[in-house]
Structure 1
């Protein structure tokens, strides 16, 4: 049985039939609900809330709640939910993904599921792909929730809103066809605090903002700075984009590092002098570049150094690899643009510019050096999480998209989300024509221009989809030569996106759009366009993911409209080139086929499908790989964040501090008595360790430890060690009580909290750096016949144990040495320099310190593991590897 059969329980129709029976119950209540007054509907909401509080489940009240939501939607927006939309809403409530075609009303479909789950009072999050859509949907749907008696909020990167209707919104004179226009709806959004936004029954926002707020909450210096409630239920719009396309991109909050940027400029000058196939080799399938022995020898000569891979020269390897990627793999106007002296990333899937987002691990700096713009400083990670692990924390998760089935296996395996295909309200009559294949790219573009010219003469609107800015501009020049008026929608002119998309279905319009720019906005057909055959879609290249091709097709044929789609492909396209297109092209050359003659061949069509399938599988493996590694860090993150929450929520930490004291005493004794021979135990060293912790005289303690060492009345060494631990613990506890007496119990509790929190945050940041280095170097373990993942887990566990030990030691030492001279505003000052990484919209810092600028966002593309030699970090309390018998921190680690 295949994975789709497992997910759909035999067939999609069977699942739809099951849900249809629930819809029948909802429909049966419609006559009754339609007779209720507006105030009675609002009162029904209170009654449903009370029933849920009394013990009924959301499933118990589902038919009535959905019937109320449908009636509210009809009265407020003038739109009545179709039965197929209710099928989608039930699937969302059940924690599934609904696949609904473009134009079928996904936004309204979510309303019943959101309303029902918000009745519990735990809050519902509706996740969108950008700030504009979150504002639009909060204003649009907020009116329905307000009518039902629920509050609706929206979080954007630098501001939060609450839906609160103005007087104008009740004035019928401003209504258009009975509905409030969009610009008026936005006037109903009142600015509120982030905390208030999360206390609303329904909160709209982007995936980035929800994720960044989670990370910021776990960096907050006090409970009143935390904004999110426990993660209850989320509905993710465009779920394939967020949970799959963005899954490899970790959200990162970082701070500027002090490292110099000079080496990036140096390598940017040297790397272009290297020659392909001699000094380095490019693997287009893997999007990677590997330097050869000859290339390494040249670089070593130019840099004036010996072996570049020697210990201590790791930074040279790092800069070389990033410079190679920047100069050879990453292309201007495809992967990024240079605008106003900045390198700005272009989103692979939407074609949108992403200002503020930055590639990580020095790659962005290497591209800046390549393009001759100012190189920004690298940053240190303060907190990070992948979307995969963030969204799996929700008690219940659901999603909506027009294209989910091709990724159903991944949704099920990673998120345990089933996919339900919702039938269209009206039959789909769009014609999807077979691909037309040309030998060269020039021949393909000539054929596309010819076709556009033909269609333009009849007035049939055309939307042309390209995969990169450079391709859209190239095609635009061809059309200009032919005198064909057209609009170009790409990342360089995204400000006019809504306007251009709105006119794309008008008679005679020709629109070139990079990838899926304008997603989320329907293209409505102009007068007389249906008779011409509807919107004609031309795809200029196949995307590596079939979903993206399907999304382009989905721009046409909405709600039963006519439409035609066709892809024009050349054997020089990137997808074909990466997967055998060159061989086919050589065959066509031998046959003497002209450039502009289309090739119709089943082998080529199968090659395209096979290439897409292989790339999708390859990308799935990468995402699964990222998740396997991030799961290790995720477990550690959970432990640290729980400790942090305990620090902020517990009235006192005295019992934890006393446990730390015992643990530290055990560490001290273990490090000083590791020799089998008791005579080799250095009691003076043990006492000195205690002195270093407390800053007090230790003669009395030293005498007691020496007496234990020399005593004959202990059964074995273990008993002696246990008594030493007891003596040191008692000494430290006495000193701890003396400090409490010095400060007073109340102030001591605050001191404990402040020191523990700062110590934990500082060491966690260092630990994230160490984990990054471990990830970068762990691939080399494969050469030693070791499983890199198992080795990573083993070494990461060791690093985590050292982290916990270092936190304990530093907290104890801090309590004994603190002089209460720290500034309460210090954390606020540091907060101003925080930077954010990951996703399409850069998150900003509001929850901790108000809105701020200068976000740094980094995206980890599919990059091969960097060959940085891993050296196990020696713990400060570990025996020094030089063999002196002393602790590392007292010997070579000074």
Structure 2
């Protein structure tokens, strides 16, 4: 490229960068004509490059020319048009596709480290390739972080011909991938892997005692698919690595038998809104008499209190076929956002064991926790982070606060013509179901495909029975049938198809219409979710790429969200009365529904904010400890601990064998000390949750304590390391580390701690302000005031 051409390209790209940088693309108020002009300008330049005779040479030169430009300090954006031209040409060669303008705009925004909102069907999978290629040219390893194993494998194999043609090595990792294959996959230029699987490999790396035990090779660029689900909804979920061995469960069947005899309203109160069960004074006295103890809250009786709390929660809060299912003699949790079974996730603090006892499954205690990290803190390790999803703008504040990521809304390449109907609300669940089934029947008669999104396994199966009772065939996709997910969703667009599914978030499969000239896909939601964004994801399944479509929610005043927040108590009698027939049309009832979601979203936002406050200092300590571990493991930091240790006879302190032994032992001892430290932090969090209303701020107490404990950790590391070196033995002329318990990394199991219980809320310490806002009395007062304002306006 000549200097003149380069300057022209920089001029064109400069205007394009300015468009993104000045925020004109962030929200729905974007001027479509302005965007179209810039897209057309960029694509014209790209097309000119595709026809450039020199492009074929560049394709065949392993991109050395571009990589050299990076080495000479050229900004990556200066080669964006050429790089996009190459990818666009390869897409045409491999798949025969035309690249949409919306895809180019999305890739350019992501290249600048943003989260883009791009509608379903606009081709986000291909957008990731453009960004990956640019980052590859910058010399970075690229991880495409997906929501589940299915998407990681599917997208990697689907895009492999493009990567091969671009001269890039691509790979994928799923849960069953063996260690040697993981090492090869991490060496690839671009790797498709779930966020949690990458996180678990990071945790395992800290248990390594030798460089060859590591599989992960540092962090470069992370492209996050389904960014709102991974970066927001699952931000506070801890990934946990624990010892594989476990002992007998701590839940006593005799205590469980007592708890089953307890009665609501007498021995305990069920706080449905807070999803908690609280002991009454009568319940406390009854338990103390039955257990033969004087005070349930004495320190020596904490085991009983721990068991009773979890057993009540398991019996009266967690619901089979809604919160979990039982399959293959195991309790498996259901993700409320996606309706999927979440592999290897369990409730914390003994609650999982209590549910196993409830379901007559042999409960066993989990092994000692060796390491853990939240997804938010893990993703913060990537120097470059960007994301893509169909619903991002409504969470722009959270993306900015938690990840310092801006959000850009990308207009679809074909306008969406989907019709979003107003909610249809009934007084009772029975009325809702009857009207819903009749609507399904009438739409099926004209051949319209229908997708019904339900809130739980139980609801999906109940509705399916009602539909079948009317002589209609339907497919059911829920946690029991997750293995045939792709097959069911792929058929949901056929003429007359009826598909009943639990939540559709993160399904990752487009529904293709068989008849694009008909009325299109009808999406019906049967419940409002905790987040309006999840409702938008369900609606977004209809009307892909300009297809016709329609969406509507069928709701009742007996739905879970309405019952939990006691909305009936503020409704006029004519609406609260279950004898009211037909849909409720009063706009104030609809306002109550929307306001409820806003309150819940505010609570969730506050919880994530509190997690961030408690994590700041702890994560800084983690970074220091991890760097120390890495430097010891790789020999960057030379340990001379042996000078303070009385080494046994026969060990040469200056030998390479001794240096390796110090490194190996040091790395292992440090990981053990860190596990002890995390155990202390857990105990401390339980303690500070009890003093959050005291004279000292609980966060201040927490930070002071972990600073002291961190100093002790470093002292303990040195002391334990010296003790271990003093115990070394020589066998067959070599230092025998196995004799002192230093060998290969221990056998572990990985799991996620579910955040759907009150345990994490207690630990995170929701602020008084949010606690007040979440209080039913406060909520009802606010809603009543809005209701009265609505009456005055009428």
Superposition TM-score tier, normalisation by shorter sequence: 0.7 to 0.9
Q: Which moved more, 1:625-634 or 1:344-353?
A: 625-634
Asked if residue 555 in structure 1 is aligned to residue 534 in structure 2, the reply is: no
Q: Tell me if the contact between 1:138 and 1:152 (Cα under 8 Å) persists in the aligned partners.
A: yes
Q: Tell me if the contact between 2:247 and 2:365 (Cα under 8 Å) persists in the aligned partners.
A: yes
Deviation at 1:393, TM superposition (A): 1.4
Q: Tell me if the contact between 1:516 and 1:552 (Cα under 8 Å) persists in the aligned partners.
A: yes
Asked if residue 860 in structure 1 is aligned to residue 755 in structure 2, the reply is: yes
Find the partner of 2:159 among 132, 141, 151. 141
Asked if residue 634 in structure 1 is aligned to residue 544 in structure 2, the reply is: no
Give the direction of change, closer, same or farther, for the CA distance of 1:308–1:475 in structure 2 (3 Å limit): same
Give the direction of change, closer, same or farther, for the CA distance of 1:238–1:589 in structure 2 (3 Å limit): closer
C-alpha separation in 2, matches of 1:866 and 1:56: 48
C-alpha separation in 2, matches of 1:458 and 1:26: 42
C-alpha separation in 2, matches of 1:140 and 1:363: 41
Give the direction of change, closer, same or farther, for the CA distance of 1:126–1:15 in structure 2 (3 Å limit): farther
Give the direction of change, closer, same or farther, for the CA distance of 1:866–1:609 in structure 2 (3 Å limit): closer
Deviation at 1:827, TM superposition (A): 6.0
1:614 alignment partner in structure 2: 599
Correspondence list, 1:404-443, <5 A: 404-443=392-431
C-alpha separation in 1, matches of 2:250 and 2:367: 15
1:522 alignment partner in structure 2: 510
Q: Which moved more, 1:486-495 or 1:45-54?
A: 45-54
C-alpha separation in 1, matches of 2:469 and 2:651: 87
Give the direction of change, closer, same or farther, for the CA distance of 1:402–1:517 in structure 2 (3 Å limit): closer
2:554 alignment partner in structure 1: 568
C-alpha separation in 2, matches of 1:864 and 1:370: 19
Find the partner of 2:738 among 823, 832, 841. 823
1:164 alignment partner in structure 2: none
Find the partner of 1:534 among 506, 510, 520. 520
Deviation at 1:118, TM superposition (A): 0.8
2:449 alignment partner in structure 1: 461
Asked if residue 475 in structure 1 is aligned to residue 385 in structure 2, the reply is: no
C-alpha separation in 1, matches of 2:262 and 2:578: 36
SS of corresponding position for 1:383:
strand
Residues 183-202 of structure 1: CA deviation (Å, up to 9, x unaligned): xxxxxxxx972122112111
Asked if residue 836 in structure 1 is aligned to residue 746 in structure 2, the reply is: no
Give the direction of change, closer, same or farther, for the CA distance of 1:740–1:392 in structure 2 (3 Å limit): farther
Residues 629-663 of structure 1: CA deviation (Å, up to 9, x unaligned): 222321221122112112112267345666xx5xx
Give the direction of change, closer, same or farther, for the CA distance of 1:862–1:91 in structure 2 (3 Å limit): farther
1:701 alignment partner in structure 2: none
Find the partner of 1:449 among 393, 412, 437. 437
Deviation at 1:559, TM superposition (A): 0.5
C-alpha separation in 2, matches of 1:139 and 1:577: 45
Deviation at 1:400, TM superposition (A): 0.5
C-alpha separation in 2, matches of 1:202 and 1:652: 31
Q: Tell me if the contact between 1:33 and 1:68 (Cα under 8 Å) persists in the aligned partners.
A: yes
Deviation at 1:270, TM superposition (A): 2.1
Give the direction of change, closer, same or farther, for the CA distance of 1:624–1:535 in structure 2 (3 Å limit): same
Asked if residue 605 in structure 1 is aligned to residue 590 in structure 2, the reply is: yes
Residues 107-162 of structure 1: CA deviation (Å, up to 9, x unaligned): 112221110111123211111111111111111112111111111111111227xx
Q: Which moved more, 1:90-99 or 1:291-300?
A: 291-300
Asked if residue 102 in structure 1 is aligned to residue 120 in structure 2, the reply is: yes
C-alpha separation in 2, matches of 1:92 and 1:268: 53
Find the partner of 2:174 among 149, 156, 162. 156
Residues 39-67 of structure 1: CA deviation (Å, up to 9, x unaligned): 64232722111211222121111111111
1:510 alignment partner in structure 2: 498
SS of corresponding position for 2:583:
coil
Q: Tell me if the contact between 2:255 and 2:308 (Cα under 8 Å) persists in the aligned partners.
A: yes
SS of corresponding position for 2:691:
helix
SS of corresponding position for 1:538:
strand
C-alpha separation in 1, matches of 2:491 and 2:703: 54
SS of corresponding position for 1:312:
helix
1:30 alignment partner in structure 2: 47
Give the direction of change, closer, same or farther, for the CA distance of 1:571–1:229 in structure 2 (3 Å limit): same
Q: Tell me if the contact between 2:631 and 2:637 (Cα under 8 Å) persists in the aligned partners.
A: no
Find the partner of 1:747 among 639, 647, 657. 657
C-alpha separation in 1, matches of 2:442 and 2:315: 41
1:643 alignment partner in structure 2: 628
Give the direction of change, closer, same or farther, for the CA distance of 1:139–1:192 in structure 2 (3 Å limit): farther
Give the direction of change, closer, same or farther, for the CA distance of 1:517–1:813 in structure 2 (3 Å limit): closer
Q: Output the TM-score relative to the length of structure 2.
A: 0.88
Q: Tell me if the contact between 1:97 and 1:420 (Cα under 8 Å) persists in the aligned partners.
A: yes
Q: Tell me if the contact between 2:121 and 2:510 (Cα under 8 Å) persists in the aligned partners.
A: yes
Deviation at 1:277, TM superposition (A): 2.5
Find the partner of 1:777 among 674, 687, 696. 687
Deviation at 1:813, TM superposition (A): 2.6
Q: What is the RMSD of the two structures over their aligned residues, measured on CA atoms?
A: 2.6
Q: Tell me if the contact between 2:568 and 2:576 (Cα under 8 Å) persists in the aligned partners.
A: no
Greater Rg, structure 1 or structure 2?
Answer: 1
Asked if residue 132 in structure 1 is aligned to residue 118 in structure 2, the reply is: no
Deviation at 1:817, TM superposition (A): 3.5
C-alpha separation in 2, matches of 1:443 and 1:12: 37
Q: Which moved more, 1:133-142 or 1:296-305?
A: 296-305
C-alpha separation in 2, matches of 1:763 and 1:268: 36
Deviation at 1:22, TM superposition (A): 7.1
2:574 alignment partner in structure 1: 588
Residues 499-548 of structure 1: CA deviation (Å, up to 9, x unaligned): 11111111111110111167211111113xx4431011111111111111
1:200 alignment partner in structure 2: 188
Residues 65-87 of structure 1: CA deviation (Å, up to 9, x unaligned): 11111111111111121111101
C-alpha separation in 1, matches of 2:578 and 2:521: 36
Give the direction of change, closer, same or farther, for the CA distance of 1:67–1:824 in structure 2 (3 Å limit): farther
What are the ranges of 5 or more consecutive residues in structure 2 without an aligned counterpart? 1-19, 731-735, 764-794
2:716 alignment partner in structure 1: 806
Find the partner of 1:304 among 259, 279, 292. 292
Deviation at 1:578, TM superposition (A): 2.0
Q: Tell me if the contact between 1:439 and 1:588 (Cα under 8 Å) persists in the aligned partners.
A: no
Residues 335-355 of structure 1: CA deviation (Å, up to 9, x unaligned): 101112111111111111124
Q: Tell me if the contact between 2:208 and 2:744 (Cα under 8 Å) persists in the aligned partners.
A: no
Give the direction of change, closer, same or farther, for the CA distance of 1:393–1:572 in structure 2 (3 Å limit): same
C-alpha separation in 1, matches of 2:438 and 2:42: 54
Give the direction of change, closer, same or farther, for the CA distance of 1:146–1:826 in structure 2 (3 Å limit): farther
Give the direction of change, closer, same or farther, for the CA distance of 1:801–1:433 in structure 2 (3 Å limit): same
Asked if residue 320 in structure 1 is aligned to residue 308 in structure 2, the reply is: yes
2:667 alignment partner in structure 1: 757
Q: Tell me if the contact between 1:89 and 1:109 (Cα under 8 Å) persists in the aligned partners.
A: yes
Give the direction of change, closer, same or farther, for the CA distance of 1:449–1:651 in structure 2 (3 Å limit): closer
C-alpha separation in 2, matches of 1:590 and 1:377: 46
2:107 alignment partner in structure 1: 89
C-alpha separation in 2, matches of 1:305 and 1:330: 29
Give the direction of change, closer, same or farther, for the CA distance of 1:817–1:498 in structure 2 (3 Å limit): closer
Q: Tell me if the contact between 1:386 and 1:630 (Cα under 8 Å) persists in the aligned partners.
A: no
